[in-house]
Structure 1
Amino acid sequence: MSECGEVTSEAARRHLPQWWEPLLSRIDGAGASDFTRLPTPERASRESAVLVLLGEEGPDSGPDVLVLQRAHTLRNHAGQPAFPGGACDPGDVDMAATALREAAEEVGLDPTSVEVVAHLPTLWIPVSDFLVTPVLAWWRSPHPVRPMDPAEVARVERLPLSELADPANRLRIRHPSGWIGPAFRVREMLVWGFTAGILSTLLEMGGWSVPWSIDRVEGLPGSGSAPVR
């Protein structure tokens, strides 16, 4: 279980675009409390990992992040945007291996096109009793990706961080349980929950966030489905 941000070596960092540096400086040594108010238990029902994959279309385009939208027919998390990822398999050597394997299975990501940069602190998702380790990575050689199984993944998007940081696209969502957390309405998707929490923190740590109205609070549409047309 990752207790703090574990960042790649200084030599490897020199090959990353300049916009990485503020983020790496902040996450180096960051703890779970920087991402969530929930304490992380020592054990849970399952361990898992997600891939927070940052890339850029071109040198002047600015960074983006890869997300998928789950199929609307799924029993759990139907229609919800998320990072690629899932539960650890016995053959996975570490959390990065889990995240990359899941991304290959879900969106056809070539693991050799990715450079793992850091393991973020392990976080607890109470509703599923999962311990989740976000794996931060640089998409060194981007290539086309797509849903590998439409029954599980409806679409795949590269969301520019500039669009996520746009105050017009930011809000907070109130869950029927009473929980209120950050959210993004972008490209006909409502990104909320665990994924939005990670993105919101990374925007702050990387210096991309700009002031936005936290008074914009909306109820979760429908029964938890995420698309907003």
Structure 2
Amino acid sequence: MTTAIDLDKLDLAALLCSRVCHDVISPVGAIVNGLEVLDDEDDPAMKAFALDLIAKSAKQASARLQFARLAFGAAGSAGAQIDTGDAEKVARGFIEDDRTSLEWQVPRVLAPKNKVKLLLNLLIVATSTIPRGGRIAVEATGEGEEGGFRLRTEGSHSRIPPHLVGLLAGEAPEGGALDAHAIQPHYTGLLGRATGYGFNLAHEGEAVTILVERA
């Protein structure tokens, strides 16, 4: 028997903040380490290494914050629309690296805020299905505001993580407690229900497909 997640607004806000901090703390910590090297080292090679580390980490931290602003933040007043071109830009900055590529086939339009937030959060869900990296392809399905999305990931050791389907459906994981990792798919499910979309996940070979359609 499944149990519905019962989470008050304060706990939801706290866990989402923890999730954002978790994503940003690593590159910010690397910047601090790089600055310490600049202070302590006289070796030109080490200083060059530190400057490169600071530059790359600052870029990564900025990309993650820009993504979080759209995926989790208010991004404008209630009922606002978001340019899917802006969503693509922050998605590429957040996801693409030497292990993971993103193929974006979503037309550039002004779309309802929560629908764009749903798409960005689904991209985070998609990354969890390819823990060793790979390819993520996202495309729009259907027409206009009633249309949905199809996300397909391919990579070695692809999987549908335990409890993911249940968390998307609003079901509590075994033990009932949510942490900063579990809150993200739960929040994605909240966005899906708020916008009238349901999810269908399938795993075949090294590919996982996430189909997002009107419930």
TM-score (norm 1): 0.26
TM-score (norm 2): 0.27
Higher fraction of strand? 1
More RCO (CA 8 Å, sep 6+):
1
